[in-house]
Amino acid sequence: MFGGNGLCSLRWDEASERVEVIDQTALPHQLRWIALNTLDDYCHAITEMQVRGAPLIGITAGFGLAHAIAQDASDAALDAAHQRLLSTRPTAVNLRWALQQVSSAVRLLDPALRPDTALQTAQRLRAEDIASCERIGSHGLMLLQGLARGETLNVMTHCNAGWLATVQWGTALAPIYKAHSEGIPVHVWVSETRPRNQGMHLTAWELQSAGVPFTVVADNSCGQLMQQGMVDCVIVGSDRTAANGDVCNKIGTYLKALAARASDIPFYVALPASTIDWQCPRGEEIPIEERGVSEVLAVSGADIDGAIREVKLVADGVAAHNPAFDVTPAALVAALITEHGVFQANTESLHALQSQLDVV
Ligand code: MRU
């Protein structure tokens, strides 16, 4: 059983031999699939956030590189496509990881053999992502079972770390889907996630489609909900986790972690091992994406006739600043939920995971 609503975020169409993705910029108002036909399409889809979420960005880039190799399998073309895809978004490390997986699978091969191997590698990454997220769900479920007292379990999440951000299941939402299907009464507090509102637009849509009880709240309500005893735990995803356990995730995550600590609520981070940057010793070295200020100065939504429109929020000429991610220090993280089990957010514990993975 898949813990969403039966959909996946990215599919390979055998007949046309091309990748199709859900255009996440149209959700929740329209469920629209788009085909990625060129390297430009892949880069555009990532940069413009038609696909987003660290694991899905990686998988999409892996298929993008496979597509480029099918057009031209020379070393020069491979390097150029790799670099182009790598520059689409700076923070989610799964992008770099997936591109490396595809590049290293084909690098030593005769160019004639590269297209098939590249595509098979991208397909493998997609399949492994689904399996990893399901395992994250099972490990997280055990934590939720430990918190459940027979009454409704209130879990808070931020941004979207559901199946739309991966291929299926999700990271932070996978334990919630598992708990719901196990009959644990779970309710989710979904924070809106300004400026792009991934909580309102995507997480709410996912949970509604799956029949999981939830309530959307303004980002600014979250500390008060925790203070009032209305939250049993917080679970978020990660875009890049440093080797010491510092977690980079959507802007606003850090404030939730601070509030959770002040109210003595466990703050969990769910992530596949591909989100750990073993070369990055601490969070302050993670590059934080700065996005266009129009995301802060305006909001998009559907008008009364269902047409998607952008609406200005402030007078022309007002200055704005838009960092897309923040870093939560490891000390605020109760545990990291991975496909390999639950780990403490510290260097020793992650070192044990690294040895298990045999990552150099
Ligand atoms: O800017 P986005 O929408 O790509 O950011 C996504 C997030 O921050 C998610 O919470 C994160 O990637 C975890 S995804 C499973």
CATH topology classification for 10-129: Four Helix Bundle (Hemerythrin (Met), subunit A) (1.20.120)
Of 164, 205, 238, the one to substitute when testing ligand 1's pocket (max ligand atoms within 8 A of C-beta) is: 238
Residue 33 has pLDDT above 60, yes or no: yes
Q: What mean pLDDT do residues 35-55 have?
A: 98
| Ligand 1 centroid – CA 114 distance (Å) | 31
DSSP 175-210: HHHHHHHTT--EEEEEE--TTTTHIIIIIHHHHHHH
What was the pLDDT predicted at 5?
A: 59
Catalytic residue among 219, 232, 239, 326: 239
Does ligand 1 come within 6 angstroms of the Cβ of 165? Answer: yes
Q: Could you tell me where in the chain the CATH 1.20.120.420 domains are found?
A: 10-129
Q: How confident is the model at residue 360 (pLDDT cuts 50, 70, 90)?
A: very low
Does ligand 1 come within 6 angstroms of the Cβ of 159? Answer: yes
Known active-site residue 239: yes
| Ligand 1 centroid – CA 54 distance (Å) | 5
| Ligand 1 centroid – CA 57 distance (Å) | 9
Q: Could you tell me where in the chain the CATH 3.40.50.10470 domains are found?
A: 137-357
Q: How confident is the model at residue 7 (pLDDT cuts 50, 70, 90)?
A: confident
Of 250, 288, 289, 296, the one to substitute when testing ligand 1's pocket (max ligand atoms within 8 A of C-beta) is: 250
User: Whole-number mean pLDDT of the chain?
Assistant: 96
HSE-up of residue 261 (Cα within 13 Å, Cβ side): 13
Q: For 243-298, how does the pLDDT look when each residue is reduced to its tens digit (9 = 90+)? A: 999 999 999 999 999 999 999 999 999 999 999 999 999 999 999 999 999 999 99
Q: What mean pLDDT do residues 199-219 have?
A: 98
Point out the ligand 1 atom lying closest to the alpha carbon of residue 198: 3
Does ligand 1 come within 6 angstroms of the Cβ of 249? Answer: yes
Of 239, 251, 336, the one to substitute when testing ligand 1's pocket (max ligand atoms within 8 A of C-beta) is: 239
End-to-end Cα separation, the chain, in angstroms: 35
Q: Are 85 and 48 in contact (CB under 8 A)?
A: no
Q: Which residue has the tokens 């509102």?
A: 197
Which SS3 state, helix, strand or coil, does residue 315 take?
A: coil
- Dist CA 152 CA 189 (whole Å): 12
Q: What mean pLDDT do residues 125-139 have?
A: 98
Does ligand 1 come within 6 angstroms of the Cβ of 171? Answer: yes
Helices (DSSP H) in the chain: which residue ranges? 39-47, 54-71, 75-86, 94-106, 114-147, 173-181, 198, 204-210, 222-227, 253-262, 294-297, 347-357
| Ligand 1 centroid – CA 52 distance (Å) | 6
Identify the helix (H) or strand (E) that includes residue 214: strand 214-217
- Judge residue 4's burial from the number of C-beta atoms within 10 Å of its C-beta, 0-12 exposed, 13-18 middle, 19 or more buried: buried
Does ligand 1 come within 6 angstroms of the Cβ of 52? Answer: yes
Helices (DSSP H) in 218-262: which residue ranges? 222-227, 253-262
Q: What mean pLDDT do residues 208-223 have?
A: 98
Q: How confident is the model at residue 62 (pLDDT cuts 50, 70, 90)?
A: very high
What was the pLDDT predicted at 2?
A: 58
Among 3-12, 285-294, 323-332, 348-357, the least confident range: 3-12
| Ligand 1 centroid – CA 4 distance (Å) | 17
What was the pLDDT predicted at 6?
A: 63
Among 3-17, 69-83, 161-175, the least confident range: 3-17
- Nearest CA to 81 out of 42, 116, 37, 51 is that of 42
| CATH architecture of the domain formed by 137-357 | 3-Layer(aba) Sandwich (3.40)
What was the pLDDT predicted at 308?
A: 86
Q: Are 21 and 9 in contact (CB under 8 A)?
A: yes
Q: What mean pLDDT do residues 3-25 have?
A: 89
Does ligand 1 come within 6 angstroms of the Cβ of 59? Answer: no
Residue 69 has pLDDT above 80, yes or no: yes
Residue that wins the pLDDT comparison between 149 and 77:
77
What is the residue with the minimal CA distance to atom 15 of ligand 1?
161
Point out the ligand 1 atom lying closest to the alpha carbon of residue 289: 1
Q: Are 55 and 272 in contact (CB under 8 A)?
A: yes
Q: What mean pLDDT do residues 149-167 have?
A: 97
Q: What mean pLDDT do residues 162-184 have?
A: 98
What was the pLDDT predicted at 306?
A: 85
Express as a percent the part of the chain with pLDDT over 90.
94
Residue 349: C-alpha distances to residues 108, 144, 246, 343, 353 (Å): 34, 21, 13, 6, 7
